[in-house]
């Protein structure tokens, strides 16, 4: 009996110790997060918008434009899979990864001799020409509901700003006010906006997309708020516009009317201004997105290498498989009249453009205008795009664009208040200044389709889009903002950025 009690007690202690040890082991195996950098094995170039998934689980993240990723709540017993179009997949145990580690992928290019069974002599330029010939067949719109994540970034640097007062008949607008304006204009302004939501698409190309926002987060430079005083001043001035009066901005012979609502009171305009700052106009945002989806590959300037193939030199470097589909890999560079350099993946059977990465070549620029004291140069353009085949058509999976430009302006500018009259309108008031400024601007747009489901056309018809959606404003990026959501990993610049007080 005693031996039995002793044995039972001993067994109880052992089981408890095992339970505690297992619990400790489970706790130890849970890693809060793991982050790293995904790079090309040979060139060490970052691999943007790659999929990093937890194998065997419905969980994953997307690398950002710099190739960084961060994935949370993984166990040391888990394995991560790294997927990037045109590269060999790599699986690595979490146990073998350390925070901040670089992961290298090898480009998967099959030589032409191995890739082509038939002895056809494929011409790279002819293959590229076939993309637009087959565009309508390959990129059909279907009734669908897509979950999107969109990140937009805007950075403006004012290198020079001089406002020289000339004259004014406005009591509120004098030389002192122009000095305040010159001082208060932010020398640098930065903004980030993240959008997560659903879009409903119809197979009728005449139908616009419908938008169902889930969350909109904006991080904007507080220095822009310094202009509130001036904004209120102009709001008050515009609110006193009578029915037969209007405003006009003029520079030399160039001029245009200012669109103001003369029937609104100053307090109403203040309220509307505040409302529009804090709420997304869903209809306007949906229209802008719709134009991006409908206009893909149509912009002849942006997609110059597709529309004007004689401006480029194409090289068929090999082939690979993308989602089980054989594709050509073609590199291109500009001739004298071309601007872009990059690489495209084109499906062998359908001639669909599956993936493209391109940018301005060294020394090349886009639009360049320098005349009458006005200068504009588009000096940076980088685009990355990927389509996934779904329901027999190629659907956008991600699109990323980075653009940069330089702007200069050195001219006299006048703001006039005028009264409508027969033959010649009467000038009531005018302020005239000499504006001399130079600025650099950089913008980026990233769109990632997280989920794509086919729906009936009736589902599209029945969905009623909201008019406005509340924007969440934050002072600094915090991981809790998007906890529980799949998003593109923020850049270091975005994580480090904090509004100035």
Helical packing angle, 175-184 and 228-239, nearest 10°: 130
Residue given tokens 């495209």 in the structure block: 344
pLDDT at 274: 62
258: its two tokens: 């200012």
Q: Which of 94, 362, 420 is nearest to 244 (CA)?
A: 420
Determine the Cα–Cα distance for residues 264 and 251; give it in Å rounded to an integer.
28
Q: Which of 33, 62, 57, 58 is nearest to 487 (CA)?
A: 62
- Phi/psi for 180 (5° steps) reads -65, -45
Q: Which of 452, 389, 326, 328 is nearest to 139 (CA)?
A: 389
- What one-character-per-residue DSSP string does 66-133 give? TSEEEEEEEETT-EEEEE-TTB--EEEEGGG--TTEEEEE-B--B-HHHH-SS-----HHHHHHHHHH
Pairing of strands 101-105, 30-40: parallel
Sign of the Cα torsion 268, 270, 273, 279 reads negative
Residue 272 near residue 263 (C-beta atoms within 8 A): no
Residue 335 near residue 312 (C-beta atoms within 8 A): yes
Residue 308 burial (CB count, 10 A): 14
Residue 286 near residue 209 (C-beta atoms within 8 A): yes
**CA terminus-to-terminus distance, the chain:** 77
Q: What is the mean pLDDT of each run of 10 residues along the chain (501 residues)?
A: 47 44 47 84 92 84 89 86 91 89 89 57 90 94 92 91 85 81 83 93 84 90 58 69 76 65 48 68 90 86 96 93 89 95 95 96 88 87 92 91 91 80 72 87 93 92 93 83 79 68 47
pLDDT at 455: 93
28: its two tokens: 């130890």
- Phi/psi for 234 (5° steps) reads -70, -35
Determine the Cα–Cα distance for residues 424 and 420; give it in Å rounded to an integer.
8
pLDDT at 145: 94
């Amino acid at each position: 009996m005693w031996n039995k009690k002793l044995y039972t007690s001993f067994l109880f202690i052992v089981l408890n110790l095992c339970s505690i040890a297992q619990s400790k082991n489970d706790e130890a195996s849970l890693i809060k997060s793991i982050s790293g950098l995904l790079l090309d094995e040979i060139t060490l170039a970052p691999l943007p918008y790659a999929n990093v998934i937890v194998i065997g689980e419905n969980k994953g993240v997307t690398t950002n434009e710099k190739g960084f990723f961060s994935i949370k709540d993984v166990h040391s017993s888990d394995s991560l899979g790294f997927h990037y179009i045109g590269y060999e997949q790599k699986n690595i145990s979490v146990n073998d990864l350390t925070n901040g580690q670089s992961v290298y992928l090898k480009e998967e290019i099959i030589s032409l001799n191995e890739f082509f069974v038939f002895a056809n002599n494929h011409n790279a330029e002819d293959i590229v020409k076939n993309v637009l010939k087959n565009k309508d067949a390959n990129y059909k719109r279907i009734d669908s509901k897509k979950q999107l994540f969109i990140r937009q970034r805007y950075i403006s640097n004012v290198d020079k700003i001089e406002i020289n007062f000339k004259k004014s008949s406005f009591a509120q607008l004098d030389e002192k006010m122009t000095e305040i304006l010159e001082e208060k204009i932010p020398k640098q302004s930065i903004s980030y906006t993240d959008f997560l939501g659903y879009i409903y698409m119809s197979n009728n190309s005449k139908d616009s997309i419908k938008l169902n926002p889930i969350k909109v987060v904006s991080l904007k430079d507080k220095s822009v708020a310094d202009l509130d005083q001036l904004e209120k001043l102009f709001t008050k001035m515009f609110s006193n516009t009578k029915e037969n009066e209007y405003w006009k901005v003029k520079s030399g012979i160039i001029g245009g009317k200012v669109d103001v609502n003369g029937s609104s009171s100053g307090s109403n305009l203040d309220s509307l201004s505040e409302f529009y700052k804090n709420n997304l106009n869903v209809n306007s945002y949906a229209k802008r997105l719709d134009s991006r989806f409908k206009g893909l590959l149509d912009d002849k300037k942006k997609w110059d290498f597709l529309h004007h193939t004689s401006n480029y030199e194409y090289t068929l470097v090999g082939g690979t498989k993308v989602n089980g589909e054989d594709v050509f890999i073609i590199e291109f560079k500009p001739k004298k009249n071309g601007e872009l350099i990059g690489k495209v993946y084109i499906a062998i059977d359908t001639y669909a453009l599956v993936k493209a990465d391109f940018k301005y070549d060294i020394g090349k620029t886009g639009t360049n205008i320098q005349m009458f004291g006005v200068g504009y140069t588009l000096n940076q353009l980088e685009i990355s795009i990927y389509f996934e085949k779904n329901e027999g058509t190629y659907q956008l999976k991600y699109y990323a664009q980075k653009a940069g430009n330089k702007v200069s302006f050195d001219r006299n500018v006048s703001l006039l208040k005028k009264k409508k009259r027969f033959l010649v309108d009467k000038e009531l008031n005018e302020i005239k200044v000499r504006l001399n400024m130079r600025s650099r601007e950089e913008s980026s747009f990233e769109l990632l389709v997280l989920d794509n489901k086919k729906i009936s056309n009736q589902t599209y018809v029945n969905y009623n889009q909201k008019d406005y959606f509340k924007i969440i404003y934050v002072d600094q990026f915090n991981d809790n903002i998007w906890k529980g959501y799949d998003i593109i990993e923020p850049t270091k610049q975005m994580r480090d950025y904090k509004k100035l007080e």
